[in-house]
Structure 1
Amino acid sequence: MTDTTAFDWRSFLLGWSGEWADSLPEGETRGEDDEAAQRTRWLGFPSASEERITTLEERLGRRMPPSYREFLKVSDGWRHAGGFVSLLAGTSDAHWHNDESGLAVMFEEYLDDDAGPEERREVDLWRRGLQLDVESDATHVLLDPEDVDEDGEWAVYTWASWRAAPPERHANFLEFMRDMHREFHSLGAHRSDGEPVFANATTRKLDALVEEARLEALGGGWERAVKALDEAKGYGRPRAAGLGDQIRRLLGETYMVYFDGLVTDPQYAPELLPPLVAEHAAHSYRGDSTLTFHLRGADDDLVSLAYATLDQIRNGTYRYTAAGPFGEAVERARELARWGDTDGAWRTLIDALPMWEPLGPDHLAPLGWVADPVLGPLLTPERGRELLSTPRGGQAGEAPSPPAGLDPGDLAWLAEPDPGNHRTCYRFVLVEGTEPEELPGRLADADTVLSEPMTLWEARRKSVHDQREFSSYDDRALMAVGRTGTGWSFAFDGEPGPFDQGRFVSPAAAASAGTRAVVVWSGLRTPHREPFFHLSVAHDGAEHYAFTYADGEIRQHGEIPRALDPGRFFGAPEVGAEAERTLLESVAGEFGASLPRHALVSGRLHTFTSGSWTRPPRDGETYTVIRMDWGDPRPADGRRTGEDGPRRR
């Protein structure tokens, strides 16, 4: 809570007046009052006596809030409060607004029938508020006698017809005047050519604060740094916004983060342009004109680079690079992340961060990697704070304690509910002593190759678009691959089709040539279907043991280890998440394998389409095949059918 009665109004107002007088261009025609204010270096008026203030309070029937009272004792009114209020009321001009503007009536028309008390209270502001604006650019300033804090301060609300925003609230009159001083500075900082340089004691103090904050941020003190940068940004100081946006972006904040003043500098564009372009690509529903707007002032080469980067990001081909030892760590991290080890990838980046070299004095941290399709998913708010807390760029300091990894290192997480409860059925294959690149050869046709890394959602969308034939007897799995556990590779399908025990064929035997393979298919929590679970283990091309729980019964063969005995898990009348969890824990314990949660849920992995998990149809069994044409809508003889789009045959 600000002690408004102890504030030194005279020093504050004198300083503001001097800054205003020094900022005026020479030879500009001004009114008599402004000429006098420049000459005397005073924007205010003579102080109001206690008698004048008491007379005001008797006229209004209310005691004035403390900060407004203290202000009046120094100046009975004020000129040029910010950029849009040319005269602020003193004791003679302050009066109840009484909806003089008609805004209460206007805003009432926009209220819904179910508008709550808070919305109606906002409308009534125009009837109860004390008006302080005397002359302004269609800007209203009202003290609210019903928005009062424990010190008796009234909130101040400002509103302008040309701003597409609700009234802005200031905690009290002192905070309002501070905000108007900031507004004056912010407008003055963006001078056009020919106007005097806007420099004074306040700007020099703030610019020194920005430089201190920059060094503080590089040393790991980002929390103090961002507060200082935000303060300087409010006054429109150059560098402050661009530096502060780098911190915010690594905290996962993207709204209104434009790296202002830096992204159009060719020195910093290689790092700052990709995250700006990536955020645009994620939300560019109405075209690319806004990208050009945020690059205003950039030369043609930089704009061309921006659009080339935009194409790479939309195509998933953007690849972040950096110089020196940190750049080498980036390549190692990408290799780990693309095979699912996101925790290892993150530790690789962080361990190399002290060796990172900024592109220039206003570069606080590596940022281009957040736009990399493989590295970007590594970022979480916790990890962003760890990166920002790590000394770098030649600054000394103590490294922070690392946060916990994102992958639990087990299989039991598959039994936990996910957002939306979508992961109720899944299947995976574990193959020991092999690399992920080998899995298509073990689980699919000989010519099957891995895709570029992509999310499972992207992979499914692409798979459906590329598929031309659908068979009711075909059950091909779209599988994400990677490394896991101690020497295992995995192939994972998070959205399998229905489980048909009569036609199911485990791929374990085919996958196990020269090694071991484990297959799990769980549907213990699938809604509206009978729960089921399958486990099969094969070695050197032959299935050693397997069991299937379905329709309330267990079918098994082979010598099943005691730890995996299905009788231990399916004895209860109700089978669900708890049985699933204990089963998965037992599988992980038996084989020392796990699956990477973060990579599968939020990352990008290589994918491929497996061979069918069901046997071919037998004699006399009927099935349906649907073939889709996505291209030229004409039959084989070349005649057009008059139809567009896909056709079933």
Structure 2
Amino acid sequence: MTEETFDWRSFLTRWSEEWADAHADADDNRAGDEEPLRARWLGFEPASAERTAAMEAWVGQPLPPSYRAFLEVSDGWRHAGGFVWRLAGTEGARWHRDGAGVGRLDREFLDENSSPEQVMRAGMWDRALQLDVESDLVLVLLDPLDRDEAGEWAVYRHASWSGGPPTRYGSFRAFMAAMYREFHRLASGRTEGRFVNSTTRALDELVEQGRAEALRGGYERAEAALKEAAEFGRPRATEMLDQIRRLLGQTWSVGFGGLAADPRYTGDVVAVLAAEHIRSQRDQGSWEFVLRSASGEVRGAAAEILRQVAEQTFRYTAPGAFGRAVEHAREQARWGGTDEAWRTLLAGLPHWTPLGPDHLAPLGLLADPLLGPLVTPERGRELLAVPRGGYADDGPAGVVAPAGGSGSGSRCGSGCGCGGESGCDGLAWLAAEDRQGRHDGYRFVLVEGVAPDELPARFGADGDATALGAPMTRWEAQRQRFAGGVSSTYDDKAQAFVARAGAGWSVAFDTDPASFCAPRFESPAAADSHGTRAVVVWGVPAESHAAGDGLFHLSVAEDGEERYAYTVEGADIRRSGAIPPALDPDRFFARGEDAGPDHVIAEHVLPEQDDRRGDRRAERAALTAIAAEFGVALPRFALTEGRLHSFTTRSWTRPPGPGESYGELRWMAAGES
């Protein structure tokens, strides 16, 4: 809509009449409000052509189109929002000249990394036209240099008491529209439901439409509708909008409105707020603020939920078929089947029922220690796109991922034998860089025909076959490791995560292995293989290996005896036993004349020995071959982002022999000296 078609008269009239209705019986009206209340008009007489021309002559250039069109209807304005009581027309405006010194502070923070927007704003304070005449320490500034193709000047609104940067609006009309919304928000909060007019009724209908769209799976349309209603302060809009925002990965300024105090939603909403409270390490005062309007009953329930979330014992539950899906998914995620767990949740989601009229989705999943990590922003979109809450028969409004993979999962191309339907990641991902460009080391033991919870009996420290530890992330495991304990160069015990690793296989996986010491390394494959097969793999990137070369080790044992093994350190390949041709290290790691005819990495693309990209290419090829040979795969998401049970393994190195020395490192617990 252009300024030629925008109806300023209709817009300002509606604003004035709604303001008069909202303030008719108010006891906080300002002196001078009698006239706009009586006339039901917040403006003044239109500015004459002469007055407008005189102002433009004083400014030295044409006024922006939307401000000029406004003046043709009203020469100034009262109550532009809740904190600007008088806005200038053709009289009352003045050059700001950085009267408050804010521009000086902005300029002090400029450097070579400052954005064009920051540079523009820093100079705005000296050149802007100030429109606020009376306000609660709020500046309204028109910037003649910050303009668009239509000649509109940007408006900056700065409240000194807000503590933040000024809010920028692309035009005077955009600023006035925002102030109209601010008036509605304040009026809705002050009148407690008594502020009703054609605008509020239309917005409340929009809220209902947004709710229905959300439950149908049309979350983008729902988000747009609820956002518009929330900007006007309509009840229920923010409560529902925050649910969509949180599932899309937004945690800032998400408080779910009054739902935290409503006992119907405690198990869902309060649990999510508790998880964010713990994650952000906020103080008790912040938690009390969240529950400021809650009853004693809700506060008691919230305290118990907060304790469970802090101790990672909270369990999200739901009634009916969806609740059964949740329990099944939790058991799948517990042993590393995060992709399968996610598909289970999506399949059960159409049976989910809201806890009340403002409930849009099973938010409590986010606080569950096993299921919460599954809900990435991408998967949050998948969840929101599934029709639910009585709308499942309407057909999907969004797109749900196919059964072969969802979210961070993908169809398997590793040859592990899963048939491409499990969403597994094979083994080759271990050779990839993480988000920070690092290539971490790893080591793991695969055991065939053994459940994950049976691994401690085979590989536990000191023969410890006790229950596994509570599920935790790799980062929590590292913090726990450094919170207290002893490490030595001869006693290489690891904290290994357990998971299923393909059809009939389980894995004990160490995400933070110690340094590889070839003379004293003892592969656990033989000891772990009694009555079955065991495979040990250890990979060390060149940047982490003491010799400066990458390392790769494979050992395979069956029924207590090692069948074959090899260790690659740089150009050196040490081997034993009858290695199957498909796993022969010469196919992946040999260089130059040592590379045989079956070499899977072409010589013309294999970099020199110290080129890490070539080492990783060989490593990926070896890992792919191992996955295909044994039909195994490691759950990447579960190991890198999820929570898994873990246990302490036996040492991966032999004890020191006669005359051998060793070092010992002790991490002190908090409070020790």
Q: Using a 3 Å threshold, how does the CA distance of structure 1 residues 332 and 62 change in structure 2: closer, same or farther?
A: same
Cα distance per residue 1:244-275 (max 9 Å; x no partner): 00001110110111101212111111111111
Corresponding position of 2:412: none
Aligned match for 2:672, one of 626, 629, 645? 645
- Contiguous gaps of at least 5 residues in structure 2: 410-423, 592-607
* 1:77 Cα deviation from its structure 2 partner: 1.3
Cα RMSD of the aligned pairs, angstroms, is 2.3
Equivalents in 2 of 1:114, 1:418: separation in Å?
A: 30
Contact 1:452 1:607 in 2 (8 A): yes
Structure 1 pair 525–192 and aligned structure 2 pair: CA distance change class (3 A):
same
Separation in structure 1 between the aligned mates of residue 46 and residue 208 of structure 2, nearest angstrom:
39
**Pick from 310, 314, 317: which aligns with 2:313?**
317
Choose which of 272, 279, 282 in structure 2 pairs with 1:282: 279
Where 1:427 maps in the other structure, the secondary structure is strand
SS at match of 2:38: helix
Say yes or no: does 1:507 pair with 2:504: no
Q: With the length of structure 1 as denominator, give the TM-score of the two structures.
A: 0.92
Return 441-450 or 317-326, whichever deviates more: 441-450
Q: Do the aligned residues in 2 keep the contact of 1:423 with 1:494 (CA within 8 Å)?
A: no
- What corresponds to 2:560 in structure 1? 541
- Name 1:497's counterpart in structure 2: 514
Q: After TM superposition, which residue ranges in structure 1, 4 or more long, deviate above 4 angstroms?
A: 27-33, 108-120, 624-631
Q: Which amino acid is the alignment partner of residue 147 of structure 1?
A: D
SS at match of 1:6: coil
Q: Following the alignment from structure 2 to structure 1, what is the Cα–Cα distance between the partners of residues 433 and 304?
A: 40
3-state DSSP of counterpart to 2:579: coil
Matched to 1:397, the amino acid is: G
Aligned to 1:638: none
The yes-or-no answer on 1:608 pairing with 2:625 is: no
1:35-434 aligned at under 5 Å gives the runs 35-99=34-98, 101-103=99-101, 107=105, 110-111=108-109, 119=118, 121-191=120-190, 197-285=194-282, 287-395=283-391, 396-398=394-396, 400-402=399-401, 404-405=405-406, 406-407=408-409, 408-434=424-450
Tell me: CA distance 1:611–1:91, structure 2 relative to 1, closer, same or farther (3 Å): same
Decide whether aligned partners of structure 1 residues 66 and 557 sit closer, same or farther in structure 2, where only a CA change above 3 A counts.
same
DSSP-derived class of the 1:191 partner? helix
Helix, strand or coil for the counterpart of 1:26?
Answer: coil
Asked if the contact 1:43–1:80 (Cα under 8 Å) also holds between the matched residues in 2, the reply is: yes
Range with greater deviation from structure 2 (108-117 or 439-448) = 108-117
Per-residue deviation, residues 417-445 of structure 1 (Å, max 9, x unmatched): 11335543211111111100111111123
CA distance in 2, matches of 1:279, 1:27: 39
How far does residue 143 in structure 1 lie from its aligned partner after superposition?
1.3
2:494 equivalent in structure 1: 477
Letter in 1 for 2:124: L
SS at match of 2:272: helix
Match of 2:7 in 1: 8
Alpha-carbon distance in structure 1 between the residues aligned to 2:539 and 2:366: 34
- State which of 474, 487, 505 in structure 1 corresponds to 2:504: 487
What is the CA deviation profile of residues 27-85 of structure 1, one whole-angstrom value per residue up to 9, with x for unaligned ones? 84866742222122111111223232222212322211111111111111111111111
Which shows bigger deviation, 120-129 or 141-150? 120-129
Question: Could you tell me which residue of structure 2 aligns to residue 453 of structure 1?
Answer: 471
The verdict on how the C-alpha distance between 1:10 and 1:165 changes in structure 2, with shifts beyond 3 A counting, is same
Give, in whole Å, the separation in 2 of the partners of 1:501 and 1:123: 61
Instruction: Please state if 1:586 is matched with 2:625.
Output: yes
SS of residue in 1 equivalent to 2:230:
helix
Cα pair 1:5 1:66 within 8 Å, conserved: no
Change (3 A) 1:30 1:521: closer
What does the per-residue CA deviation read over 1:137-191, in whole Å, with 9 as the maximum and x for residues that have no partner?
2222121111111111111111122221112111111111111111111111111
- Deviations along 1:343-368, one digit per CA (max 9) or x if unpaired, are 00000000000000110111000010
SS of 1:579's equivalent? Answer: helix
SS at match of 1:560: coil
Contact 2:489 2:664 in 1 (8 A): yes
Q: Distance in 2 between matches of 1:534 and 1:486?
A: 23
Provide the C-alpha distance between the structure 1 equivalents of 2:159 and 2:126, rounded to a whole number of angstroms. 17
Alpha-carbon contact 1:426-1:523 (below 8 Å) kept: yes
| 1:330 CA drift (Å) | 0.5
Structure-2-length-normalised TM-score: 0.89
Q: Assess, with a 3 A threshold, how the Cα gap between structure 1 residues 279 and 562 changes in structure 2: closer, same or farther.
A: same
Runs of at least 5 residues in structure 1 that lack an aligned partner in the other structure: 632-643
Q: Does the 8 Å CA contact 2:385/2:400 hold for their aligned counterparts?
A: no
